[in-house]
Structure 1
């Protein structure tokens, strides 16, 4: 009985391995309905060891830094700290800048989805007249943060400048940045919903 089982298994395996895949023509493909999309899981490490734009100085005193040095440690800290990513957005042509500064840490997620979605109803009646495809980002159920941090602030320039140095030293005494709040996250958070990206003419 054992011998018969061992003979049958290779026969099934062989027929599966040598099955031939064939391309479908357009007429055959048109008979199938499906929905496209992407399901993403991953881990992002953003400037975990500091960014590449500035060197970390030996001290935390801005007056002693050279033009290419910056510390993101607290003002009264005894030693300097490397800096993370900086993102600056200007809302108006003649306005100031909103900045996310010193972005560092590890962010992991599972279940971020990306697909197209047709909007032809809803939205207070505007969906029917819109009647177009949009991009839909489905938020993952859980995002895990490991030693993640960032600072939100406003500034008069998009790029960071050392106002403690003179213009001859490569600094900019007119530079101003006001930090509104700083966040450090080490844990997980749950999110729900999706983000729709509408095309514009």
Structure 2
């Protein structure tokens, strides 16, 4: 339900202000036009100082770790804390795509969220579709402060310590292959939007 606010006040501002909420009837409502949406700015700090779910081991030899220890450093390198892990499984019987060790500070300004009617374009499919979709407008700038992540594939969604026995909380069958790692420190300019189409 949409309301309108009525305000009565004098030019000298000596009288008290009064406001009353009134419901709009269908005739008045039909005369109104509006546009909805959300404009977001913010900052995400993800495991910048290490996470709380895993203890940092003393050495970087996985065979010496306890069940609650994990390092994201390469073997033989200095021990480091791990970041956030996101895993997606595309097929019920398939493997997992993972973004692992997500850490750092990500800030943005101007991310928008609104609904949009798609009734044209898309090679003629828009007119057939003729429905509302969610539109995420990408922010003009994203600032990264010592941010990093690793993309890989794994046979399980959750991380497991494959160097420990099952009795010690590990999983020797766990496998993950890291495809590439990224470290970003600076500003990235982006344009465009992402449309999310509903499915039946």
Q: Secondary structure of the residue that 2:18 maps to in structure 1?
A: coil
Which of structure 1's runs of 4+ aligned residues deviate more than 4 A? none
The count of residues paired between Structure 1 and Structure 2 equals 189
Deviations along 1:6-34, one digit per CA (max 9) or x if unpaired, are xxxxx85625x843333243233432211
Query: Which whole-Å CA distance do the structure 2 matches of 1:53 and 1:24 have between them?
Result: 52
Deviations along 1:70-115, one digit per CA (max 9) or x if unpaired, are 01122221x4211100111111111111110000111000000000
Larger radius of gyration: 1
Query: Which whole-Å CA distance do the structure 2 matches of 1:165 and 1:175 have between them?
Result: 10
Cα RMSD of the aligned pairs, angstroms, is 1.7
**Mind listing any 5+ residue stretches in structure 2 that lack a counterpart?**
1-9
Pairwise mapping of residues 32-181 of structure 1 onto structure 2 (< 5 A)?
A: 32-77=32-77, 79-181=78-180
Name which of structure 1's ranges 164-173 and 37-46 shifts more when overlaid on structure 2.
Answer: 164-173
Query: Which whole-Å CA distance do the structure 2 matches of 1:24 and 1:123 have between them?
Result: 43
Which structure has more strand as a fraction of its residues?
Answer: 2
Q: Which residue of 1 aligns with 2:24?
A: 26
Q: Secondary structure of the residue that 1:68 maps to in structure 2?
A: coil
Q: TM-score normalized by structure 1? A: 0.88
Distance change >3 Å, CA 140–CA 29, structure 1 → 2 = same
Query: Which whole-Å CA distance do the structure 2 matches of 1:13 and 1:131 have between them?
Result: 53
Query: Which whole-Å CA distance do the structure 1 matches of 2:17 and 2:158 have between them?
Result: 59
Query: Which whole-Å CA distance do the structure 2 matches of 1:18 and 1:126 have between them?
Result: 57
Q: TM-score normalized by structure 2? A: 0.88
**Alpha-carbon distance, 1:152 to partner:** 0.4
